Amino acid sequence: MKLMKSVMAAALALPCVVSCAAASADTGANMWYDRPAENWNEALPLGNGRLGAMAFGGVAADEAELCERLPQIFDRAGNHYRMLDSMATRQMKTPEGAMRIPRGLEKDGSLRMISIRDWTSGFYPGSLWYLYEATGDVFFKNRAIVWTEMLEPNKTMTGTHDLGFMMYCPFGNAKRILKTGKYDVILVESAESLSKRFHEGLGLLRSWGANGDRNEFLVIPDNLMNLELLEWAAKNGERGTGNGERFDKIARSHADVTMAYHFKADGSVYHVLDYDQDTGRVKKIMAGQGAGCGSAWTWARGQSWAIYGYTMMFRETKDVRYLAFAQKLADFAINNPNMPEDGVPYWDYGTPGEARDSSAGAIMASALLELSAFVGGDKGAAYRAFAVKQLLALSSPAYFSEGGEAGHWLLKHGTGHRPANSEVDAPLSYGDYYFLEACLRFKRLLHIQ
């Protein structure tokens, strides 16, 4: 069916669109299209004198609204993080001199400061890098450098799988944005430390527990996110001390074995698997941070980690199996009957009506925007539309904090660990990080200048 667009009508309906001078509702001047634009060069320019975009695949009211909101989102986020940084800087050191970094809020509402060894330590400086990228304000660059370089000692940690979060989010963004080689060796050394958790026989990176532990070998989907550090090091290892081919082999192996065992037939994820180190078989499935292990339950953030992880692995390797699998995981989440109308999941897909997890929504939105560009066509457009819906919800008063109500963190209603009653209905540093990343990805996707 032909798609007719009246340019003037579009201008009246969409705050991000302006009409062409030659087109008017009075003259009935219309533009006709047989199909959506398939690439950037076929798209129509949109703008309001302040923002511009080349939107292809059809002009959607939701995208226009998000386009219009972006400056306000980044401006408000910047104001929040200026206040947050002021509070965090005063608490940067313990009385004993140990360095700390902000993570969220304590139950009494005070700022939660944690050790630089905490798995979340990279998200706060990573968010500062995104704010510098979004605003160009050197305040955020200078503060990001301070908080990022504080984390350098983590590069030798071998007792955690979270080095991707801890090191690539801050140092990787610093390298990309500043276009510097200053941090290359730190990143490669971090990848080398992460690689020490690889079990050759299983083909997996150990998630939790000490290297060499023969009683358990626990793996969680979160670990997929750390493969980006290995893939970066695989391409840049010659600049440091690593072996690029080995890093790539480890990342692909972990992604492949995880794909084979960590998911149910419908594409939903288990949280914790325990592997037998002699047989390679899964000997135990555990709910972890989810509500249960059966088919009725799926931990929402784990599903989002997996969508993101396999999308990233396709980007880094161009292996089409990862692209197909990312779509399967995304389709499970999007089409789940318990997915709320606004696209922000409950903390577990099997617990409708319970606490939401804004961080799961932010991670998923960021992943879907990247996935949409890889998939293209109608399906890619559907992924993009769902992500835009999520970002509109997350940037609304329902989730985006006002003043100091969330301690100047951005997103309300995160759920860290519901079974442990930890960080429930709370702001989470990683929720902010992936929300800002998703907004920047949307901006780039539409070629907004």
Give catalytic residues, as residue numbers.
162, 222
Cβ distance 92 to 98 under 8 Å?
no
CB 78 within 8 A of CB 70: no
- Distant-in-sequence, close-in-space partners of 50: CB < 8 Å, separation ≥ 6: 71
Six-digit token string for 116? 């630089």
Residue 415: helix, strand or coil by DSSP? strand
User: Cβ(29)–Cβ(11) under 8 Å?
Assistant: no
DSSP summary character for residue 214: S
Cα separation of 186 and 392, whole Å?
37
Q: 173 in helix, strand or coil?
A: helix
Contact assessment for residue 269 and residue 216, using Cβ atoms and an 8 Å cutoff = no
In eight-state DSSP terms, residue 165 is I
Backbone angles phi, psi at 423, to 5 degrees: 55, 55
Buried b or exposed e, range 252-281, using 16+ CB within 10 angstroms: bbbbbbbbebbbeeebbbbbbbbbebeeee
Q: Which residues pair with 219 in a beta bridge?
A: 273
